[in-house]
């Protein structure tokens, strides 16, 4: 770790230098007469402290340069000015302190930046938002102990990165880190995968298999999508956590294991407990320590930093030199909803680095769907996120309502367009076939006036959802569920797939909306 300090204001610079040297932190004192850019390249510091002249063109140029994968920049301002502070942070300053500032307070700010940089390197989680800072601080506090950790967050937010960081910063760092996506394993293989099996314990068990718990002995076991573990396996998993020993499938001997378990889920586990899909005792055993990873749309101020980091990473990886990204392109990326979170952003940046024709990523290099913000208009905030105890906030609920209303409006416009098309097709068909009353408006007999067995063109399927003005969101959701059940002839599993929700969530909705029994079978 090293800190570069400018001598623009000598007194705070010298005092800070003495305190940092006492803490065994390497420092570089740079005079205003020195070649500052050259000294920065030579020192390659993790923190740069400008003790004055914050608006000097050379200072601002260095701060901007550090935004692309360089040091954290701390500035000392002569007067307190919130607008100036915000401007400086926009061009690359991590923090701005107002003089006079004590040497101890300055030392504390520098060491916090150094610690944050260290944790960021360990985790790969980049961001300056309060939400990311809280996550990094939680990792720092939780890493040294052996308690189980539950990580909650949407897909693509970096749950496995956090789990690996907890392991790397723990006393177990020299032992194995084993990751298992339990949601991707069939129930018949899950227990064998976790606990191992003995030879001949079931058909196909040609030899003994060591389970993941044994492989992770002394280290950390990461169980991703823990909410998908079936009830029968939950009982055995709880016993392993309580007793700290496993019994292989088909075996009789209990094998001691010393494993720290870090579990993750992309939906609030409390909901599954309330619905009866997840055992409360296992939930409480896993939820000793908890980290919530916010979606990217809740920390938009981190998007520019992430974009710069990813551009730098992929420019080096693919041997393409970029001078940056245009302000217009950055605005478009910052305004998008990012349903796939950081993973989606990272993949997009890689594709733009590879395919962009110029040396600067421009607005034309961004796909139209993101440029026009279409996904942002249609992206509803997950209901689970709103109901999450820690996230009950009027602003987020209002955001959900507004987005949902916009989506309903777009659906209504699409429905009107389809109805007009159906009318036109039916009228043309009726005129050609000589059938009376076949139009969408028609006489009281309506479609019933058609000859037996004749189906007009454009007829809506029985599983179609009709949305009319004045319907509540609950009524629309219930209609969609009933339509999916009709389409799948009452098959709940298939209906859940059609609706793109979990089967347990569907069960809860059936009960909530008092759907007739014939749809639940």
pLDDT at 143: 93
The span from the CA of 281 to the CA of 35, in Å, is 63
DSSP 319: T
Higher-confidence residue: 311 or 407? 311
Neighbouring residues of 428: CB distance < 8 A, sequence distance ≥ 6: none
- Residue 501 CA to residue 476 CA, distance in Å, equals 16
More confident residue, 252 or 417: 252
CA–CA distances in Å: residue 514 to residues 7, 276, 478, 507, 511: 72, 18, 9, 11, 5
In angstroms, the CA 456 to CA 458 distance is 6
d(CA 396, CA 404): 12
Backbone angles phi, psi at 63, to 5 degrees: -60, -45
Comparing C-alpha atoms, which of 81, 121, 74, 70 is closest to residue 95? Answer: 74
Could you please report the per-residue DSSP string of 385-419? HHHSGGG--HHHHHHHHHHHHHHHHHHHHHHHHHH
Average pLDDT over the chain, rounded to an integer: 80
Sheet holding 2-6, edge to edge: 26-30, 2-6, 47-50, 72-77, 93-98
In whole angstroms, what is the distance from residue 305 CA to residue 69 CA?
Answer: 9
Rounded Cα gap, residues 389 and 337, in angstroms = 23
The conformation of residue 156, written as its DSSP 8-state character, comes to T
As given in the structure block, the two tokens for residue 7 are 């001598």
- pLDDT, position 187: 78
Q: What is the pLDDT of residues 334-387, one digit of tens each?
A: 999 999 999 999 999 999 888 887 778 889 889 888 887 644 443 444 433 333
Q: Are 49 and 74 in contact (CB under 8 A)?
A: yes
Residue 175: is it exposed, middle or buried by C-beta count within 10 angstroms (0-12/13-18/19+)?
middle
Between 273 and 460, where is the model more confident?
Answer: 273
Give CA–CA dist 161/303, Å, rounded: 18
Q: Report the range of poorest mean pLDDT among 29-43, 54-68, 421-435, 469-483.
A: 421-435
User: Among 181, 174, 182, which residue's Cα sits nearest to residue 220?
Assistant: 174
Tokens of 293: 């990873």
Binning pLDDT at 50, 70 and 90, where does residue 415 land? Answer: low
pLDDT for residue 319? 84
The greatest distance separating any two alpha carbons of the chain, rounded to the nearest whole angstrom, comes to: 98
Which pLDDT score, from 0 to 100, does residue 371 have? 83
pLDDT in tens, 76-100: 998 888 888 888 888 888 889 999 9
pLDDT at 437: 45
Whether 385 and 393 have beta carbons less than 8 Å apart is answered as no
pLDDT at 403 over 70: no
Phi, psi angle pair for 27, to nearest 5°: -125, 155
Q: Which of 298, 296, 364 is nearest to 325 (CA)?
A: 364
Q: At residue 456, does pLDDT exceed 60?
A: no
Concatenating the DSSP letter of every residue in 274-309 gives HHTSS-HHHHHHHTTEEEEE--GGG-GGGHHHHHHH
Q: Is 6:32 a contact under the CB 8 Å cutoff?
A: yes
Burial of 520 (0-12, 13-18, 19+ CB in 10 A): middle
Contact criterion met (CB below 8 Å) for 48 and 62 = yes
Structural domains in the chain?
2-123 (3.40.50.2300), 132-293 (3.40.50.300), 298-367 (1.10.8.60), 461-521 (no CATH)
Burial grade of 118 (CB within 10 A; 0-12, 13-18, 19 or more): middle
372: which 2 tokens?
């026009």
The pLDDT of residue 501 is: 80
**What average pLDDT does this structure show over 420-426?**
63
Sign of CA dihedral 120, 121, 123, 124: positive
Which position has the higher pLDDT, 512 or 243?
Answer: 243
CA distance 68 to 229: 42
Beta pairing class for 220-224 and 245-247: unpaired
Confidence band of 517 (pLDDT split at 50, 70, 90): low
pLDDT for residue 162: 93
| Block residue for tokens 């060591």 | 210
Give CA–CA dist 305/296, Å, rounded. 12
Residues 473 and 404: beta-carbon distance below 8 Å: yes
- pLDDT of 252: 81
* Whole-angstrom distance, CA of residue 229 vs CA of residue 241: 15
Q: What is the DSSP letter of 380?
A: P
Q: Are 126 and 32 in contact (CB under 8 A)?
A: no
């Amino acid at each position: 770790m090293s800190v570069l300090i400018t001598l623009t204001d000598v007194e705070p610079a010298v005092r800070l230098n003495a305190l940092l040297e006492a803490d065994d932190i390497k420092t570089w004192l740079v005079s205003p007469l020195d070649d500052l850019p050259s000294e920065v390249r030579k020192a390659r510091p993790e923190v740069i402290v400008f003790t004055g002249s914050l608006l000097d063109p050379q200072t601002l140029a260095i701060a901007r340069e550090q935004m692309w994968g360089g040091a954290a920049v701390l500035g000392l301002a002569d007067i307190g000015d919130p607008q100036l502070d915000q401007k400086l942070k926009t061009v690359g300053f991590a923090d701005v302190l107002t003089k006079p500032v004590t040497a101890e307070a300055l030392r504390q700010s520098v060491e916090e930046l150094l610690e944050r940089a260290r944790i960021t390197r360990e985790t790969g989680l980049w961001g300056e938002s309060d939400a990311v800072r809280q996550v990094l601080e939680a990792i720092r506090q939780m890493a040294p102990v052996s308690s189980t950790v539950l990580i909650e967050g949407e897909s693509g937010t970096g749950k496995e990165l956090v789990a690996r960081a907890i392991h790397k910063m723990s006393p177990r760092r020299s032992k194995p880190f084993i990751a298992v996506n339990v949601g991707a394993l069939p129930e018949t293989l899950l227990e064998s995968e976790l606990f191992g099996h003995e030879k001949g314990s079931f058909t196909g068990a040609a030899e003994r298999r060591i389970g993941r718990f044994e492989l992770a002995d002394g280290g950390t076991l990461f169980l991703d999508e823990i909410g998908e573990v079936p009830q029968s396996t939950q009982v055995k998993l709880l016993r392993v956590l309580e007793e700290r020993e496993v019994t292989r499938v088909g075996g009789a001997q209990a094998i001691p294991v010393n494993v720290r378990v870090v579990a993750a889920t992309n939906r609030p586990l409390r909901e599954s407990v309330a619905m009866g899909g997840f055992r409360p005792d296992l939930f409480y055993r896993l939820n000793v320590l908890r980290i919530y990873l916010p979606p990217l749309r809740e920390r938009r101020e981190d998007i520019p930093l992430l974009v710069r980091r990813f551009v730098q990473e992929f420019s080096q990886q693919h041997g393409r030199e970029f001078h940056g990204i245009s302000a217009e392109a950055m605005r478009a990326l910052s305004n998008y909803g990012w349903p796939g979170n950081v993973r989606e952003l990272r993949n997009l940046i890689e594709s733009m680095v590879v395919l962009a024709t110029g040396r600067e990523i421009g607005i034309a290099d961004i796909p139209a769907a993101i440029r026009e913000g279409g996904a942002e208009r249609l992206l509803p905030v997950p209901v689970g996120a709103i109901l999450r105890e820690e996230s009950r906030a009027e602003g987020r609920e209002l955001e959900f309502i507004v987005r949902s209303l916009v989506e309903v409006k777009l659906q209504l416009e699409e429905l009107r367009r389809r109805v007009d098309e159906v009318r036109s097709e039916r009228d043309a068909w009726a005129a050609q076939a000589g059938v009376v009353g076949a139009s969408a408006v028609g006489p009281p007999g309506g479609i019933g006036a058609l000859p037996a067995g004749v189906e007009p063109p454009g007829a809506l399927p029985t599983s179609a959802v009709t949305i009319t003005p004045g319907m509540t969101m609950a009524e629309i959701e219930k209609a969609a569920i009933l339509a999916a059940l009709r389409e799948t002839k009452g098959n709940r599993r298939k209906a859940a797939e059609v609706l793109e929700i979990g089967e347990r969530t569907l069960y809860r909705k059936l009960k909530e909306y008092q759907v007739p029994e014939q749809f639940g079978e």
